[in-house]
C-alpha cells in the first residue's frame, strides 16, 4: 500500500521527526531558492501583464473551421464542384486542391451573445460565453502534416525539439507555485508529434512541462512502485538529506548542491500537492455539473478543464490541455461531420463551464484561455465525407486575460480555404500571447546555435494583434 502522501507540512515535519531547526532550515532553503539561484522564482515581466496564467485548449488533429467558427454559405452553392484555379497551388497531404470537390458543411450557424459571434450548432453551451471570446478566423501557416504543424503551433517552427510556448512563458515569468510545476500538460492520448511537441527544447530542463496524468498517479514517478511499497519514504529522505547537507557543508558553497536539497523537498511536497490539486472530491456537485462531470460524454475533458482551473488557482503558470490525442480526434479524413458532432459534444460544456467558472471566481481577467488546433481542414472533400488537412486559413479563439470579448478578427476567402483579410501567422499569435503575459516577444531570448533565439523567430516580423485586445 502507498503511504498517505496527503499530509500537511506540519504533519510531515512532525512525522519525520524534524524539529524547529529543520523547519527553519527548509524556510531558509525556500528563501534562498527564490533568490538568483532558483530559475523558477517569479520574475518581473517586461510590462504590466494582463494575464498571469494561460490555459491552452488544444484540439489535436485539426478542427474544421468551416464546421465550427467560420461559416461559408458558398460551400453549399458550389458543393460537388472543383475550386477555382487560384487554389490549385496549395499543397495538401492526401488530396489535390485542383481536383478535390467542395464539401458543404452540414452544420447550422447562428449568431451568439450580444456580439453576435457566429458558431456552428456543434456547440450548445459555448454560445453562453460568446461575448468573452475573440475569434481569429485568418490564422495560417505552411505545414500540412501533423507533426510539423504541431511543432509549428507550439514552437513557431516546423522543426522538432524547439521550446514550446509554455516553456518560454515559464522561462520569462517563473512560477507562482511552490509545490507544483509551472508548466503542466494534460492529454487524453499520445500526440502525433510525440511528447517533444511540448518540449522545453534548448531551454534548461527547469522549464520543461510536467505531465499530469488522467489515470494512476498524476505525475510520473510520483508514487512508489509496488516493489518497495513497504518502505518509509520520509525516513529514507531524511537520511539522504542529512548526508546531502553534510556533503554541502564539506564542499563549502555550491548553489547547485543546495538547489538539489531544495528540489528534493519540492518533490516531496509535490507528492502531496499534486494529488491534492487534482482531487476533485471536494468540489461541489454544482461545479462538477458545470464542467459536465455528471455525464460520461463530457466527463473526460470536463475533468481536464476543472483540473486546469484548480491548477491556475494554485499558481501554475501554463496549463496545456489536449483533446483528441490517441485516436483520430479532430483528424477527420472520413466522417468529418459525425466526428465534429462527437468532438463538439465532448468539449462544448466543459469549455463553457471553464470560462463561466473562471469568471465567477474572478480569475478570468487574469487567465488567458486559448482554443485551436495545429491547423484547420479543407473546404473540399476527401473521399465521400472527410476533409483533408489545411494550414492555409483556420480559426483560433481566445478569451479572458486582456482579450476584447465578442470580437471577430480576420477572414478567409469565400470558400474558407485561405486567410484573406488580416492574415495571422503563428508567430503573431505567439507574440500576442506573450504580450498579454507582460512579455515582449523580441526581448524574450535565449542563446543557442550562435543566436539569441526567440519563440517568434528572428527572421520576419511578428505583429501583436491589437484588434483583439481589451
Partner 1 sequence: MRGLTTMKCILGYLAVIAFANAHAADADAAKSAANGDDPRLPPASVQRVEFARDIKPIFQKRCYECHGLSKDKGGLSLATRARAMDGGDNGKIILPGKSASSPIVHYTAALEEENAMPPKGERLSADQIGLIRAWIDQGAGWAADADELDPRVARTAEHWSFKPIKRPAVPAPKNSPWIRSPVDASILAKLDKAQLHPAPAASKEALLRRVYFDLTGLPPPLDAIKAFVTDSRPEAYAEIVDRLLASPAYGERWARHWLDVVRYSDSGGYETDIFYEQAWRYRDYVIRGFNEDKPYDRFLMEQVGGDELWPDQSETMQDATAVWTIGQWPNSLDSFPDMLEYVRRTDQVVTFSEAMLGMTVGCANCHNHKFDPITQRDYFGLEAIFSASETWNKNTNKKAWGKNERTAFRILRHAPAPTPIHLLTRGELTKPRGLVSPSIPAFLPGGGTLPDGPNESKQRRAELARWLVSPQNPLTARVIANRVWQWHFGQALAATPNDLGTQGLPPSHPELLEWLASELMESGWSLKKLHKLLLLSSTYRQSATREPNAIAADPQDTLLAGFPRRRLDAEEVWDQLHAAAGTLDTKSSGEPFVPKLSAEELQGIYDISKKPELKWAVTPDQNRRAIYILNRRSFRFPFFEAFDPPNSGVSCPVRQTTTVPAQALTLMNNSIVAAQAKSMAERLVREAGPDEAKCVRQAWLLAYSREANEAELKLATNFISASEAENQKQGMKEPHLAALIEFCLGIINTTEFIYSN
Contact with partner 1 (CB under 8 A): which of 15, 43, 101, 192?
192
Is 12 a residue that touches partner 1 (CB under 8 A)? Answer: no
Strands 133-140 and 407-409: parallel
Residue ranges in 215-254 that form contacts with partner 1 under rule CB under 8 A: 216-217, 219-225, 227-228, 230-233, 235-237, 239-240, 242-244, 246-248, 250-254
* Site stretch for partner 1 (CB under 8 A), options 116-124, 259-267, 314-322, 372-380: 259-267
Which DSSP string corresponds to 65-110? GGGTT---THHHHTTTSBPPGGGTT---SSS-TTTPBB------EE
Distances (CA, A) of 12 to 15, 19, 217, 234, 314: 5, 11, 20, 8, 20
Q: Nearest distance from residue 462's CB to partner 1, in Å?
A: 15
Q: Nearest distance from residue 280's CB to partner 1, in Å?
A: 20
Contact with partner 1 (CB under 8 A): which of 127, 166, 181, 372?
181
Is 445 a residue that touches partner 1 (CB under 8 A)? Answer: no
Residue ranges in 302-361 that form contacts with partner 1 under rule CB under 8 A: 326
Residue ranges in 114-173 that form contacts with partner 1 under rule CB under 8 A: 145-148, 158-162
Q: Which residues of 262-298 are buried (b: 16+ CB within 10 A; e: fewer)?
A: beebbebbbbbbbbbbbeeeebeeebbebbbbeeeeb
Residue ranges in 76-95 that form contacts with partner 1 under rule CB under 8 A: 91, 93
* Site stretch for partner 1 (CB under 8 A), options 261-269, 302-310, 351-359, 398-406: 261-269
Which one, 160 or 289, has the nearer CB to partner 1?
A: 160
Burial class (CB in 10 A: 0-12, 13-18, 19+), 24: exposed
The C-alpha angle 98, 101, 107, rounded to 5 degrees, equals: 135
φ, ψ of residue 420 to 5 degrees: the values are -120, -65
Residues 6+ apart with CB under 8 A from 167: 183, 198, 199, 200, 201, 203, 207, 208, 209
Q: Nearest distance from residue 156's CB to partner 1, in Å?
A: 14
Q: Nearest distance from residue 369's CB to partner 1, in Å?
A: 25
Which one, 73 or 204, has the nearer CB to partner 1?
A: 204
Which one, 24 or 220, has the nearer CB to partner 1?
A: 220
* Cβ atoms 134, 409 nearer than 8 A: yes
Residues that bind partner 1 (rule: CB under 8 A) add up to a total of 80
Is 259 a residue that touches partner 1 (CB under 8 A)? Answer: yes
Amino acid at each position: 500500500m502507498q503511504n498517505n502522501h496527503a499530509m500537511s507540512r506540519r504533519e510531515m515535519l512532525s512525522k519525520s521527526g524534524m524539529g524547529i531547526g529543520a523547519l527553519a532550515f527548509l524556510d531558509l532553503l525556500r528563501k534562498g531558492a527564490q533568490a538568483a539561484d532558483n530559475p523558477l522564482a517569479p520574475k518581473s515581466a517586461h510590462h504590466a501583464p494582463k494575464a498571469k496564467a494561460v490555459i491552452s485548449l488544444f484540439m489535436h488533429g485539426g478542427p474544421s473551421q468551416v464546421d465550427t467558427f467560420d461559416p461559408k454559405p458558398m460551400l453549399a452553392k458550389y458543393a460537388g464542384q472543383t475550386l477555382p484555379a487560384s487554389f490549385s497551388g496549395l499543397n495538401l497531404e492526401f488530396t489535390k486542391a485542383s481536383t478535390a470537390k467542395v464539401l458543404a458543411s452540414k452544420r447550422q450557424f447562428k449568431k451568439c451573445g450580444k456580439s453576435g459571434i457566429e458558431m456552428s450548432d456543434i456547440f450548445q453551451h459555448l454560445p453562453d460565453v460568446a461575448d468573452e471570446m475573440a475569434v481569429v478566423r485568418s490564422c495560417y501557416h505552411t505545414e500540412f502534416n501533423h507533426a510539423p504543424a504541431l511543432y509549428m503551433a507550439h514552437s513557431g517552427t516546423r522543426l522538432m525539439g524547439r521550446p514550446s510556448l509554455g516553456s518560454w512563458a515559464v522561462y520569462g515569468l517563473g512560477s507562482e507555485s511552490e509545490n507544483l510545476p509551472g508548466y503542466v500538460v494534460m492529454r487524453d492520448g499520445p500526440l502525433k508529434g510525440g511528447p517533444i511537441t511540448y518540449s522545453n527544447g534548448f531551454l534548461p530542463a527547469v522549464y520543461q512541462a510536467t505531465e499530469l496524468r488522467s489515470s494512476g498517479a498524476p505525475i510520473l514517478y510520483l508514487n512508489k512502485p509496488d516493489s518497495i511499497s513497504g518502505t518509509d519514504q520520509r525516513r529514507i529522505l531524511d537520511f539522504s538529506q542529512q548526508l546531502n547537507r553534510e556533503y554541502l557543508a564539506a564542499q563549502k558553497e555550491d548553489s547547485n548542491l543546495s538547489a538539489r536539497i531544495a528540489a528534493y523537498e519540492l518533490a516531496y511536497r509535490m507528492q502531496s500537492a499534486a494529488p491534492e490539486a487534482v482531487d476533485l472530491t471536494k468540489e461541489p456537485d454544482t461545479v462538477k455539473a458545470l464542467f459536465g462531470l455528471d455525464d460520461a460524454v463530457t466527463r473526460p475533458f470536463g475533468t481536464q478543464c476543472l483540473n486546469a482551473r484548480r491548477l491556475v488557482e494554485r499558481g501554475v503558470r501554463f496549463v496545456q490541455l489536449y483533446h483528441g490525442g490517441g485516436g483520430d480526434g479532430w483528424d477527420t479524413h472520413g466522417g468529418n461531420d459525425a466526428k465534429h458532432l462527437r468532438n463538439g459534444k465532448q468539449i462544448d460544456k466543459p469549455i463553457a463551464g471553464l470560462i463561466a467558472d473562471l469568471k465567477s471566481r474572478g480569475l478570468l481577467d487574469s487567465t488567458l484561455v486559448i482554443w485551436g488546433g495545429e491547423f484547420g481542414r479543407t473546404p473540399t472533400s476527401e473521399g465521400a465525407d472527410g476533409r483533408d488537412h489545411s494550414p492555409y486559413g483556420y480559426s483560433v479563439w481566445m478569451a479572458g486575460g486582456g482579450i476584447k470579448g465578442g470580437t471577430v478578427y480576420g477572414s478567409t476567402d469565400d470558400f474558407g480555404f485561405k486567410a484573406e483579410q488580416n492574415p495571422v501567422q503563428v508567430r503573431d499569435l505567439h507574440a500576442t500571447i506573450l504580450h498579454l503575459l507582460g512579455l515582449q516577444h523580441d526581448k524574450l531570448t535565449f542563446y543557442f546555435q550562435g543566436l539569441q533565439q526567440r519563440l517568434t523567430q528572428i527572421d520576419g516580423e511578428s505583429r501583436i494583434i491589437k484588434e483583439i485586445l481589451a
